[in-house]
Amino acid sequence: MRQRIARFMLGRNGQDPLNIFILIAATAALVLGSFLRGFVGDILRLITLALIAVSWFRMLSKNLPRRRAENARYLRWRYQVSGFFRCQKTRWEQRRDYRFFTCPSCRSTLRVPRGRGKIRIVCRKCGSSFTRKS
Ligand SMILES: [Zn+2]
């Protein structure tokens, strides 16, 4: 039986991080949908079924280049999202010693020491400067 499954899965995509994310989303929709009655609950149950169908399709798919590209896109997105939260965590940990500003011309984040009064801040990335209270 194990060998038959292994032979069946040969050349197929199988499980990947994107599929795991889809199944977690399906579970979330299922749990949320079980609390809600009526139209919204029906929609959530429909979404659950659709997500499970997509996950099965991706798992059994033989179009590996396409599935790998989807997974890579998902991993890039996940890295960006986790990077944003990592950045917010660092800012929160350093909030007593530093103030954070956004450069008005290039939108990059600038960190300056707190309690220096009114200072001229020069962006290291684009060289533009502006005055703020630190
Ligand atoms: Zn700048």
> What domain count does the chain have?
2
The per-residue pLDDT for range 6-65, each reduced to its tens digit, is: 999 999 999 999 999 999 999 999 999 989 888 999 999 999 999 999 999 999 999 999
How close is the Cα of 90 to the center of ligand 1, in Å? 20
How close is the Cα of 37 to the center of ligand 1, in Å? 51
One domain, residues 86 and 101: no
One domain, residues 71 and 127: no
What pTM does this model have? 0.73
Q: Is the pLDDT of residue 2 over 90?
A: no
The per-residue pLDDT for range 52-81, each reduced to its tens digit, is: 999 999 999 999 999 999 999 999 999 999
How close is the Cα of 119 to the center of ligand 1, in Å? 16
The per-residue pLDDT for range 91-111, each reduced to its tens digit, is: 999 999 999 999 999 999 999
Tokens of 123: 């962006």
Cβ pair 93, 104 in contact under 8 A = no
> What are the residues whose beta carbon lies below 5 Å from ligand 1 (ion)?
103, 106, 123, 125-126
One domain, residues 88 and 30: yes
How close is the Cα of 132 to the center of ligand 1, in Å? 14
One domain, residues 38 and 64: yes
One domain, residues 64 and 116: no
One domain, residues 27 and 10: yes
One domain, residues 6 and 66: yes
One domain, residues 73 and 30: yes
One domain, residues 122 and 85: no
- Quote the domain boundaries for residue 24: 2-93
One domain, residues 11 and 50: yes
One domain, residues 13 and 48: yes
One domain, residues 54 and 76: yes
